[in-house]
Structure 1
Amino acid sequence: MKIFSARGPMDNSQDRELPEPQASTKENLEPAVPTPRITDLSNPEYYINRELSHLQFNRRVLEQALNDDHPLIERLRFLLIYSSNMDEFFEIRVAGLMQQVEFAREQVGLDGLGPQAVLKEISNQAKESVQLQYEILNDKLLPRLAKQGIRFVRRHQLNDKQKAWIKRFFYNEVMPIISPIGLDPAHPFPRLANKLLCFIVAMEGKDAFGRETGMAIIPAPRSLPRVVELPDEVCDKGGKNYVFLSSIIHLHMQDLFPGMTIKGCYQFRLTRNSDLDLEDEVEDLAKALQGELLSRRYGETVRLEVVDNCPKPLVDFLLKEFGLTDNELYRVDGPVNLTRMMSVCNEVSPEFEHLTFPSFTPGYPKALQTRSTRSVNVLDAIRKSDILLHHPFESFTPVVDMLRQAATDSNVLAIRQTLYRTGARSEMVDALVEAARKGKEVTVIVEIRARFDEEENLALARRLQEAGAVVVYGVVAYKTHAKLILIVRREGKKIQRYAHLGTGNYHAGNARLYTDYSLLTCDKDITNDVRKIFQQLTGMGKAVRVRKLFHAPFTLKKSLIELINQEAVNAKEGKPARVIIKVNSLTESHLIKALYRASQAGVEVRLIIRGICCLRPGIPGLSENIQVRSIVGRFLEHTRVFYFENDDRFRVYCSSADGMVRNLDMRVETCFPIEEPKLAARVKKELELYLSDNTCSWQLQSDGHYLQNKPSRGQRRRNAQRRLLETLANYAH
């Protein structure tokens, strides 16, 4: 059985339609011979490698750049997101595998592959995808963008006016801050920061001191824009015209080395290990983290990207200098730092809005709407009934308003909240600061180890502390990933609690890009459970007992497996049995084995896994009742939902946790029930919508690769995200 299926760069096998079920005939009416049940669930052939599955997800993101259904600028955006995803993949995942090899701590995964075998396969697959990426950029996107009036002008295309303007820009903006470094015994190879655009220069001649090294390195300062817009007055055509910083530096290379003969100048970029390694026994987590952040930019090298026309001797020199091999070398046909082109996608002028996704206004729940200009008090609305929001189709504003109103409400006594990622400019943090300054008891669990947001979260923590809030950094060995707000309010002679529980972060920007659920409730048991979890995070004591929530690392995994096992029991007894799980990733072995056993018992299992999936569907005797699909579309699918048929008395849970070891065993997570019947039925209906998508969905095959779902002849196109926009948001396409 194949562990990973490779495809050629332009192979269209992913576009094949899934076969329709065959109608019964006389020939197949005979009783089928039962497929022998597989009992050894530890066989490596029944699992997909985690890292290679991750690569497959990134490939699906890249292939959105080929999708003619997406507007042109959005196709470019997907291509750049792929670059960003791959950067993080190498900084964290590949770096971890290389460390295992270096320190002889190699671990074999469920799939039976060791890190050296995985690294080799990653190199093969990633190089194929990177080649496809640059083919899409150069042959499809850039020419089409140019026809629409968005041009990336290459050096040989510049006119005289543009060259003159670029020369002034170089002398005024680049020359004063750039530092060329000639290599000789007094100037050793510089220490280059992670993902920094650099140039290696080959030259001839002696300088003023008689030195004749023949080689130099130019790091491009991070303060310089990687894409520079040319002014209209120097352009022969209208629209937007851009030039890459690399082209500007190339054009004036001679000015950086006066009197020398430049033989060649070539871009390269180095990727380093960016994971942070904190010991469990630290006295001050914040101080320890600050120390680690200083060294993140200079971790061990894991990848070298070089333009494809760089001569082999120079490439070999760089590889030797960085301690890398050809496996870690990526030759590219274009800029080595494509993610910096994202500024073009983010700053679209009105004349090019037709090249982006149509705008929409998130819907607002009826329970919070009013005919007057006065806003509804969110807490009063929650007291009448639970409120469920599906972002970004529905507004995130009610969550912000709930906190803002609580901050100024004289009857509110205390506010507690977890913060994982919230953004530099956060209205929610503003509200917490205001509440603390007004004398309310404000306690915030700030997870300062949220990857790549550590520095920002440290600054947020300092700001909250200065306002008088109590800030706790969670538990050293367990990241606090749960999304919780608890508001304590005096109402008459009693104390009333209100809570927000979510699947996503308290980040208003992400709430426009990620799909997530928010539950606003004052249910007595749920809010008391939330109170207990906060108490456990800020204080000390044994694991708390909660009534309605599941929480990791204590009860969540066990409870999910028990619910899956119950579906298997129901199936064996002839009762309705079905499981639907929608998460970002599925890697936890016990959860996978429970799903395998449920499939063997006859349970219909439908998994909507956006990214990594280590489970193999469709294996006779093991997983023939399991289907796995991935949705990749306009919005990043981020909701985590667990549905259980439960003998026609279905149960629905939403969660902050994915089906991964780190979520279930190494993080503080919550999983909360949607108990109000109408809300639970709504979540079920929306899950069915995703299961019927035949436009933005991909079906996982048993050999580990994905086929894109497409409508069969005469079948209506179904796009789940667009349908949710049409039904929940103000959207006219």
Structure 2
Amino acid sequence: MSDKRNYNDPNYFTNRELSWIDFNDRVLEESRDKANPLLERLKFLSITQSNLDEFFMVRVASLAKLAAVNYPKPDASGMTAEQQLHAVNDRAHDMLIKQYTTLNRSLIPAIDQVNIHLKSRADLTPGQFQFIKGYFHDELYPVLTPMADDSSRPFPFIANDTLNLAIQLTPVEGSGHLYATLQIPDVFPRVVRLPEEDNAFILLEEIIKSFVGQLFINYQVKESVVFRVIRDMDLDVAEEDTSNLLKDVQQQLKLREHGSVIRLEVENTISKKLLKRLNKELNTPDFAVYETNGPVDLTFLSKLTSQVINHDDLKYPKFSAYQPSELDHNHDIFAAIRDHDWLMQHPYDKFDPVVEFIRQAATDPDTLAIKMTLYRVSGDSPIIRYLGRAAQNGKQVTVLVEVKARFDEQNNVHWAKQLEKMGCHVIYGLIGLKTHSKLSLVVRREQGGIRRYMHMGTGNYNDVTAHFYTDMGLFTVNNDMGIDATNIFNMLSGYSKPPYFHQLHISPNGIRDFIYDKLDQAIELAKKGKPVLIKMKMNSLSDQKMIAHLYKASHAGVKIRLIIRGICCLKVGIPGISDNITVHSIVGRFLEHSRIYTFDFDGHRSIYLSSADLMTRNLNRRVELLFPILQPDLVERVDRIYDTMWEDNVKTRVLQADNTFKHVDRRGLTPLEAQAAFAEAATLHGQRDQAEAEAKTPTEFQPMLSPQNQPNPLNYDDGSETD
């Protein structure tokens, strides 16, 4: 009997953009959660703002462009671009109210109670007032540039994501209203520490507003309010070939600064007259105007927390990330990888071995070549330095730098040029595709011939984000994977099109086909009454065809567990469609970024890690990598990691049939916070290693044993234990 159900029914899908806002609301809930340390709650509120900014610059900007041309095609949930644009702005207005209610009613009173003060001019002591007066005259005044706005001087260009003052003036002698704008310079810190108290601060715009009249001699300032615009910042590069891609990206970076205004934020003390004028000059629709009940742009809260002194008690407790000694700079990392595969779980395991892998390869006389994909790297990347050193040492170094990585384009263009100067072969990617895979390959000449060493990961080669993104990586010398990796790099750098891969799966298309095949196998086994369990973890699930396939599997009786941090367009609890699917979301101290795909078919378990989420862009328009975990102990470890996250009952929210996410009911349960458990395990593992090393240190002279009589050292084959 054929399955005639329509798994693509729009009623079965949540709109992608509204699902993203739901995710950001979960982040906002963390700022309201009194169980979180106070300064961390300020950070969460700051993160909701930076999240929203990027969302508007790209996703809402895209909706605005589609709506402007009356694009008719609805999304999977049946909404047109115009409907989505208005729905998103409605929800974002609700979020704005919640953000500022959290700030004003909860967080500001709470920090005041512990003597951390964010002051306005009215709250300053005489000494503090003299300080800001001096700061204005000595530091700010020479830099500030007021811009008149009248018939002879048009309204100035307002740059994306800059703070500005909108000013209304009247002449001291005479009548009428005049207007000006003033950009608040970002060369000064926005949060200014005040004297006389340990933790008293004032915002830069408050200082400027206090003395702005001194920039307009013979005029009286009637009104000055802060405003900010968010513009369309999506990069639009026409890729016909990659020879001029670097130049095209640089040109587009300049052009996008002048994108249309997608959102206008302004202090709610603004007069109707001044707001109307701003609206007209910026050509902002009414639904895109956001009036804030407090400081515009809440990202300053992260800067505030970083300046607070003597309050470690209001932050997350520190933990020590674990590093096996075999992977440190005192040991031969290639010998360690030859011995067995190594699994890394960041940030609980240090990122240092990944950097060490490239460092040792750069100076190793047996290394012939290093090949690597780079999507996002830090501003001062040690990996880039070691790649350059390797090239200067005569190694063949090939680096794919994805210059189209959103909001990292400028950084990546810079590094691409630097790598070329240092003698590396730099590839800028494939036409029409972003290269998002995380792959590095070291080729060595050894006694037995050529051997390939690999690192594959779920996250970027970024030594900064590795401290607060949870990601996983694998070191291996598996020959089949090494051949596959070589073929991938040949495909990226030349015209090679491998007919098949031994162990690795790549997008475009390969990962989709692989997961479809696994789901089809699961469906057939479930129909035969066999026990089948699929466990997946990812950042986002939005691909319509993949969701329809998951619905089909659920309908056949396949049990499916999903851990999804962000966007989830799948709905649970649809009778006969998604009864067998459960969705958890973890939002906590670290940003959950790892991707795990586990298939347990009648007791036969296979586990894969990937750089790819199940989004259309990852499956169709990016070069992505999915790789297996083959070593049995590491299979067990990844499964324990997943199960620990699944059992989390502190930070987990469960998707309900009404499309809301609710916290786990903890009544009768022992609290388990997965991220805290992993951090504690890493610290304990390091302490145990140190104690064992100290115990082995001889306290008196001992004769050296011959190698065959040496005791076997305890071998910690991977990172921190999870239970």
Provide TM-score, normalisation by structure 2: 0.92
Q: Which runs of 5+ in 1 are unaligned?
A: 1-35
- Secondary structure of the residue aligned to 2:443 is strand
- Secondary structure of the residue aligned to 1:185 is coil
Which of 192, 198, 204 is the aligned partner of 1:228? 192
2:465 equivalent to 1:499: no
Letter in 2 for 1:508: D
Match of residue 259 from structure 1: 218
Which of 665, 669, 673 is the aligned partner of 1:715? 669
Match of residue 130 from structure 1: 96
Q: Is the 8 A contact 1:533 1:544 kept in 2?
A: no
Q: Is the 8 A contact 1:362 1:730 kept in 2?
A: no
Map 1:441-590 → 2, pairs under 5 A: 441-590=396-545
Which of 166, 173, 181 is the aligned partner of 2:132? 166
Shift in Å, 1:431: 0.8
Shift in Å, 1:421: 0.6
Shift in Å, 1:206: 6.5
Match of residue 355 from structure 1: 314
Please give the per-residue CA displacement for 1:464-518, whole angstroms capped at 9, x wherever unaligned.
1111000010112100100000000011250111000000000111111000001
Q: Is the 8 A contact 2:227 2:265 kept in 1?
A: yes
Letter in 2 for 1:724: F
Match of residue 75 from structure 1: 41
Match of residue 276 from structure 1: 235
Match of residue 306 from structure 1: 266
2:14 equivalent to 1:48: yes
2:558 equivalent to 1:603: yes
Change over 3 Å in CA distance of 1:261–1:206 after alignment to 2 = closer
Which of 690, 696, 701 is the aligned partner of 2:651? 696
Q: Is the 8 A contact 1:584 1:611 kept in 2?
A: yes
Distance 1:485 1:309 in 2: 54
Distance 1:324 1:474 in 2: 37
Q: Is the 8 A contact 2:239 2:245 kept in 1?
A: no
Shift in Å, 1:303: 0.4
User: 331-340 vs 446-455, which deviates more?
Assistant: 331-340
Letter in 1 for 2:318: S
Q: Is the 8 A contact 1:726 1:732 kept in 2?
A: no
Which of 258, 261, 279 is the aligned partner of 1:319? 279
Shift in Å, 1:296: 2.2
Match of residue 144 from structure 1: 110
Distance 1:106 1:722 in 2: 47
Shift in Å, 1:422: 0.9
Change over 3 Å in CA distance of 1:318–1:697 after alignment to 2 = same
Please give the per-residue CA displacement for 1:334-367, whole angstroms capped at 9, x wherever unaligned.
1112213322223443x11111111111112365
Change over 3 Å in CA distance of 1:62–1:731 after alignment to 2 = farther
2:300 equivalent to 1:340: yes
Q: Is the 8 A contact 2:596 2:607 kept in 1?
A: yes
Shift in Å, 1:164: 1.1
Match of residue 429 from structure 1: 384
Match of residue 289 from structure 1: 249
User: 637-646 vs 292-301, which deviates more?
Assistant: 292-301
2:27 equivalent to 1:91: no
Distance 2:355 2:49 in 1: 32
Shift in Å, 1:224: 2.3
Distance 2:559 2:399 in 1: 42
- Secondary structure of the residue aligned to 2:604 is coil
Please give the per-residue CA displacement for 1:78-133, whole angstroms capped at 9, x wherever unaligned.
00000000000110111000000112334310000111111221122111111111
Letter in 1 for 2:258: Y
Distance 1:127 1:543 in 2: 50
Change over 3 Å in CA distance of 1:169–1:67 after alignment to 2 = same
Q: Is the 8 A contact 1:37 1:600 kept in 2?
A: no
User: 151-160 vs 668-677, which deviates more?
Assistant: 151-160
Match of residue 178 from structure 2: 214
- Secondary structure of the residue aligned to 1:252 is helix
- Secondary structure of the residue aligned to 1:541 is coil
Which of 61, 70, 73 is the aligned partner of 1:107? 73
Distance 1:645 1:594 in 2: 17
- Secondary structure of the residue aligned to 2:537 is strand
Aligned residues: 685
Distance 1:262 1:649 in 2: 75
Identity, % of aligned positions: 39
Shift in Å, 1:542: 2.9
2:395 equivalent to 1:440: yes
Shift in Å, 1:607: 0.5
Please give the per-residue CA displacement for 1:169-192, whole angstroms capped at 9, x wherever unaligned.
111111111111121111110011
Which of 404, 413, 421 is the aligned partner of 2:368? 413
2:629 equivalent to 1:674: yes
Change over 3 Å in CA distance of 1:543–1:319 after alignment to 2 = farther
Please give the per-residue CA displacement for 1:619-639, whole angstroms capped at 9, x wherever unaligned.
111000001111000000000
Please give the per-residue CA displacement for 1:439-471, whole angstroms capped at 9, x wherever unaligned.
100000000111111111111111111110000
Q: Is the 8 A contact 2:490 2:496 kept in 1?
A: no
Distance 1:666 1:640 in 2: 18
Distance 1:443 1:104 in 2: 45
Q: Is the 8 A contact 2:71 2:81 kept in 1?
A: no
Shift in Å, 1:253: 1.8
Distance 1:434 1:348 in 2: 39
Shift in Å, 1:161: 1.2
Distance 2:160 2:655 in 1: 34
- Secondary structure of the residue aligned to 2:654 is strand
Change over 3 Å in CA distance of 1:79–1:37 after alignment to 2 = farther
Higher relative contact order (CA 8 A, sep 6+): 1
Change over 3 Å in CA distance of 1:710–1:37 after alignment to 2 = farther
Q: Is the 8 A contact 2:532 2:601 kept in 1?
A: yes
Distance 1:715 1:378 in 2: 43
Q: Is the 8 A contact 2:376 2:408 kept in 1?
A: yes
Distance 2:635 2:222 in 1: 68
Please give the per-residue CA displacement for 1:10-58, whole angstroms capped at 9, x wherever unaligned.
xxxxxxxxxxxxxxxxxxxxxxxxxx98701121000000000000000
Please give the per-residue CA displacement for 1:609-657, whole angstroms capped at 9, x wherever unaligned.
1000110011111000001111000000000010001221100000000
- Secondary structure of the residue aligned to 1:281 is coil
Distance 2:595 2:388 in 1: 30
Letter in 2 for 1:340: F
Provide TM-score, normalisation by structure 1: 0.91
Shift in Å, 1:239: 2.2
Which of 24, 36, 40 is the aligned partner of 1:58? 24
- Secondary structure of the residue aligned to 1:271 is strand
Shift in Å, 1:725: 1.3
Distance 1:433 1:478 in 2: 26
Q: Is the 8 A contact 1:497 1:524 kept in 2?
A: yes
Distance 1:246 1:708 in 2: 39
Q: CA RMSD in A?
A: 1.8
Q: Which runs of 5+ in 2 are unaligned?
A: 688-723
Distance 1:330 1:395 in 2: 42
Distance 1:639 1:724 in 2: 14
Give the 4+ runs in structure 1 shifted more than 6 A.
none
Match of residue 86 from structure 2: 120
Q: Is the 8 A contact 1:572 1:601 kept in 2?
A: yes
Letter in 2 for 1:717: P
